[in-house]
Amino acid sequence: MIFEVSYLYRDASNYKQYASVVVDVTGAKNIEGVEERMRRRFAALQVWPDVVHFRPEDLGWPTAYFEDHDEGGEDIGLHEIEAIAETGKPVTAILP
C-alpha cells in the first residue's frame, strides 16, 4: 500500500519545520502497521511513548532541520511522525 508520511522537526525552542514523503510499504495493511514498523526500526530513539521519533537521514529521507541546527547545543537530532495517511500520490521515497 502507498502511504504519505508527514513528519516534523522540533528545535529546542519548540519551533517546528515540516516534511513528508510518499512510500510504498510492502506488507503494510494499514496506517498502524506503518507506524509500528517505524517504531520498531527506531526503538532505541523513542523518547515519549505516544510519539514516534526517528532520523529521516537514516532512511535517505529529507530532513526538516533548521539551517542553524546544532546538536552540540540544545537541539536534538530526531524528527517525529505527525501523520500517516493512505494516498494515491506518486512514491517519492522508500521504507527499507
Average pLDDT over residues 34-63: 93
Domain locations in the chain?
Answer: 2-86
Beta-ladder partners of 7:
19, 81
pLDDT at 70 over 80: no
Average pLDDT over residues 38-52: 91
Residues 6 or more apart whose Cβ sits within 8 Å of residue 45: 53, 54, 55, 78
Q: What global pTM score does this model have?
A: 0.91
Helix (H) and strand (E) counts in the chain: 1, 4
Average pLDDT over residues 61-83: 89
Average pLDDT over residues 43-72: 91
